Every structure is written in C-alpha cells, then in structure tokens.
C-alpha cells in the first residue's frame, strides 16, 4: 500500500508561490494537479496494491478518489510525519511505502522498479533530485518511522533505511519551487500538470 500525504491545498507548497507567467493565481489547481499525477502514476504501477491519501482537503479527496485511491482524514493533524504514520497504521498493510505527493514526472515503471528494489531491506528510501530530501520511504514487516522534512535523506539513512538508487529521474524530481516545476516539465509531466502548463503558455482568448 502506498501512502501519500496532502495538506489542504491553499496551505500546501507555499514555496511554489509566486507562480510564474500564466500560472499566476493557479496555486491550488497546480498543487492538485501535482498530487493527481503522482497518484495516477502510482495507481498505474502493477507493484502497487492501492494508494491511500491522507488529507483533510475535500477537493483533493474527490479527485484522488475518482482516480481510484482511498482517502483517510489527517486525524492526528500534527504534521507530515504524523500523517504518514497514521496512513500506514490505517492501511493495515505489512508492506507500506510513503510517497511524496509532488512528483508530476513520476512514471509507473520507475515506482515498480524502486518497489522491487526495496525488497532488499526492511526499510528503504529514495532521495530527491537534490540528494537531501526523500521522495519514497518503504517498510516491509517493519515500522515505517517516517522522518520527512528538510534533510530527511540523512535522517532516513541514519535510522537504518537502505538508500536505493536507479534510473528514476521522475521519482526523484519533487516539485517545491518554480525551478523544480521547470525541471519536472523538462522530464515530461503527467496529463493534469501538462494541461495546466499548456494553458498557462497559451491562455484562452
């Protein structure tokens, strides 16, 4: 089971503001598109039994539910790691993966390969493109013990999780800033993010 966290849209991804060019004013729609493309790619991986999104945002919940994910309220309301631990508990699954919700360039094959590689150890993680953050943390027969946040790769490493590396540029490419969004677009993003970027380049008359 893959657990994906999502804050309320207006509060999430504050580093993405101000958005460039034609994307101005589209913050919530962009955050939702990033989430939906991430969840869509995860659901398309045959290695994924299901996706559970931990969120209190009704719009986000409606969109990911339509894609085939389950949702659960962020009952702890105590930050990202509490939300992930809650999702892992609620999932009831012995094999859980926490996946960042801002990976619009994620390809199902990348996640399939990373989850397969994760069989090598009880806890594994994939670092973000900068090498300092984490985009995927897996646990099988072990507590997830998420330690996401700035510098999380070092914490997950120090906590005994095995670092996985592979040809997974979309899995590593999290989007925190407008420059990250450009880098993701260069890799190729999922349909919802792509539609927003296209509309921003070619505004309706």
Ligand X SMILES: Nc1nc2c(ncn2[C@@H]2O[C@H](COP(=O)(O)OP(=O)(O)OP(=O)(O)O)[C@@H](O)[C@H]2O)c(=O)[nH]1
Ligand Y SMILES: C=C(OP(=O)(O)O)C(=O)O
- Point out the annotated binding site: 134, 149, 152
Close Cβ partners of 181 (under 8 Å, ≥ 6 residues apart): 16, 30, 175
The pattern of x and - marking residues 64 through 93 that bind ligand X according to CB under 6 A reads: ----------x----xx--x----------
Site for ligand X in 138-197 (CB under 6 A): 176
Q: Which of the listed partners (ligand Y, ligand X, none) does 88 bind, with a CB threshold of 5 to 8 Å by partner kind? A: none
- DSSP code of residue 189: -
Chosen residue from 45, 71, 91, 101 binding ligand X by CB under 6 A:
101
Task: Provide, rounded to whole angstroms, the least separation between the CB of residue 134 and ligand Y.
Answer: 4
Considering the rule CB under 6 A, would residue 12 count as an interface residue with ligand X? yes
Whole-number Å distance between alpha carbons of 83 and 73: 9
Task: Report whether 27 contacts 17 (CB < 8 A).
Answer: yes
Considering the rule CB under 6 A, would residue 28 count as an interface residue with ligand X? no
Considering only the stretches 98-106, 138-146, 160-168, 197-205, report the one whose residues sit in contact with ligand X under the rule CB under 6 A.
98-106
Chosen residue from 37, 57, 110, 174 binding ligand Y by CB under 6 A:
174
Count CB-CB contacts under 10 A for residue 84: 25
Pick out the residues of the known binding site for phosphoenolpyruvate: 134, 149, 152
Of 59, 80, 61, 81, whose CA–CA distance to 71 is shortest? 61
Whole-number Å distance between alpha carbons of 137 and 98: 5
Half-sphere exposure of 64 (CA within 13 A, CB side): 33
Q: Where are the beta strands (DSSP E) in the chain?
A: 2-6, 51-55, 70-72, 95-99, 123-127, 134-140, 162-163
The pattern of x and - marking residues 95 through 134 that bind ligand Y according to CB under 6 A reads: ---------------------------------x----xx
Structure tokens given for 153: 């790769």
Task: Provide, rounded to whole angstroms, the least separation between the CB of residue 15 and ligand Y.
Answer: 8
> What is the contact surface with ligand X in residues (CB under 6 A)?
5-7, 12-15, 54-55, 74, 79-80, 83, 100-102, 176
> What is the contact surface with ligand Y in residues (CB under 6 A)?
128, 133-134, 148-149, 152, 174, 176
């Amino acid at each position: 089971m893959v657990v994906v966290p999502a804050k309320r849209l207006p509060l999430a991804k504050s580093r993405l503001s101000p958005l460039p060019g034609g994307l101005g004013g589209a913050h919530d729609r962009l955050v939702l598109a990033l989430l939906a493309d991430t969840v869509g790619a995860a659901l398309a991986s045959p290695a994924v039994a299901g996706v559970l999104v931990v969120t209190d945002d009704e719009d986000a919940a409606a969109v990911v539910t339509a894609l085939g994910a389950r949702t659960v309220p962020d009952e702890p309301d105590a930050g990202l790691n509490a939300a992930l631990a809650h999702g892992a508990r609620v999932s009831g699954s012995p094999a859980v993966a926490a996946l960042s919700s801002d990976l619009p360039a994620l390809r199902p094959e990348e996640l399939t390969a990373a989850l397969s590689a994760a069989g090598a150890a009880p806890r594994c993680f994939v670092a973000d493109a900068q090498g300092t953050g984490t985009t995927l943390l897996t646990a099988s027969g072990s507590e997830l013990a998420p330690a996401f946040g700035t510098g999380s790769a070092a914490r997950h490493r120090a906590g005994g999780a095995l670092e996985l590396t592979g040809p997974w540029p979309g899995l590593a490419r999290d989007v925190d800033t407008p420059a990250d969004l450009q880098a993701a677009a260069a890799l190729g993003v999922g349909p919802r993010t792509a539609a927003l970027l296209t509309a921003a380049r070619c505004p309706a008359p």
